[in-house]
Structure 1
Amino acid sequence: MTILRPLFALLVATGLSALVTPVAAQDNLTLVIEPYAGSEERVRERVTEAYGRTARILGFEDGKVLDERFEGRVLLMRFRNPKDRSTFEIATNYRQALEARGFTVEWQCETRALCGNGSDGGWVKRNGMNLGIGRDIDYFTGQMPYEGGTVFVSVGVERSNHYVQVLQSDAMETGQVRVLDAEAMASSLDAQGKITVENIYFDFGKADLLPESDEAIAEIARLLSDRAEIGLYVVGHTDSIGGFEANLSLARERAASVVSALESRHGVAAGRAVPAGVGPLAPVASNATEAGRALNRRVEIVLR
């Protein structure tokens, strides 16, 4: 099992500056940046992933937001600003504390127009930062060395709230998913009438199957070949983030992608597998946490 090490430690003297201290073990991160003094964290909006995907905003030119895709350890925190503190003051305290530990600023911007937060689809779908509609925005991003590697930090501040994004390149912990073969699928279906196929993957917010899904699709096809007497429903599930109708549509489209792959790539006869989508209607965990939402985003096969 991968041992998760501290991101980094910042120790500063002023009570107005940011700190880094230990957090709860379940966060999978040993050290995180504490907020500007007097800020209130919106805990339910925290994103903590031992290995995830996001983006870092690196510029805005010619009407286009420039971002850098990232895979690795992801932390995004949102805080309510203390009263009577300017965006400039809050951003400057974070930057000074980071620079004292070797941080280098790669890009910074002020105002919504110069940052491009309201252009080219905005930022929230890229990095999770929703900096509102006001003009008063301060943002910077950069990197610092850590134990032979690199940590990327971005801070975005608007009048009411601010965000801190911490990204660390780590190797993904592997060997945590077992692909059910056709025999195991058949056994589970006989016993339960349905199973979740854990390792079917899609692009974020889309119905396009990723190549990592090929092995699971092939085993479903072999199941149907071995058990000529059965038919299946392929059922798409989503979390509750986003509109209800959009989630229903996405769930159906993802199920249809699986069925299409079974028929076009593996010669499964039309009608043996029927696509369906229930969106967020049948959760297996709470949608209040990212861990729960990840469990709810799934594909099931159901005997019919």
Structure 2
Amino acid sequence: MTSASREVNPERLLRDALHSLRLIVPFRAAWWGQCSAGLANLPPRNWMHGHINLSASFAQEWNHLAERDEFARDSMRQLDTVVRMSGHDDPWPEVSAFSRLHDLYHVMALTTELSGNGFLFFVSLYRSETSPAFSDNESALFAEFVAHLQHHWRGRVREFLQHTTVPSPDGFGLADAYGDLFYLDKRLGVAIHKAYPNWVGSRLPPELVPALRQIPSAISVAGRGLTLQPCGELVVLSLDGVSGRDVLTPRERSVAMLYSRGHSYKEIARLLTLSPATVRTYLRNAYLQLGVRNKIELGVALQMPATQR
């Protein structure tokens, strides 16, 4: 897994690893990703996921009944512990229906905490009723595997995030050009949900997807600056730290951020769909509001808390 972690993106690393596990712990279907037990006034939900032999709508369906799924809640309460269950019977009819629809008769899951991320990491395996339940030996192998997998997955994520040029990011994410998320931390997730409260699932809200195809770019999300930068086949999303830039409008802040990183007036105009004259106006306002005289001072001021300006 070590050599593979240097060659593939984080999502593919997880998928390939689960296919390898299948050779020693057979399963019909698998689900993995990031979840939360309840935060920011939100019920338990999935934020990022991948799957094998499950429907494309699986995560979104689960998010609508997550608060009633006692097995999932048990796994999120018993961190670093393998939880197993067999059967379709559940006190909540909608949970039983979901289990039957997706043939989730035998279930084995492990949830761990992502230090510094704010979310949880989980892997769930499923077998049909005609297959045997997961054994104690398989449970032990699964626990060792998930611990090893999470370590390499986070290492691969860090390699991608090291490519960001945002000096003081307050939250990170990884997505592809279609908006599918491969990594998300709590601060960015909560900011996106604040801006788009009806957002459900582990794909970015459709309103944000166009920006993924116009990178590098900077947009505003819930009053915060969000910088999007290419990194191989993926896009790094960086939520800017709270700073003295709050004196600027979101559009002024986006123009100033891009200019401070070396983009020309014409490039900024193209990226943000503005005229060069409007870019000059926004920059002039940013210079006046921040009290700076050149591009270097602008970059410093954009990261400086307002109380220090």
TM-score where L is the length of structure 2: 0.27
**Higher percent of residues as helix:** 2
Greater share of strand: 1
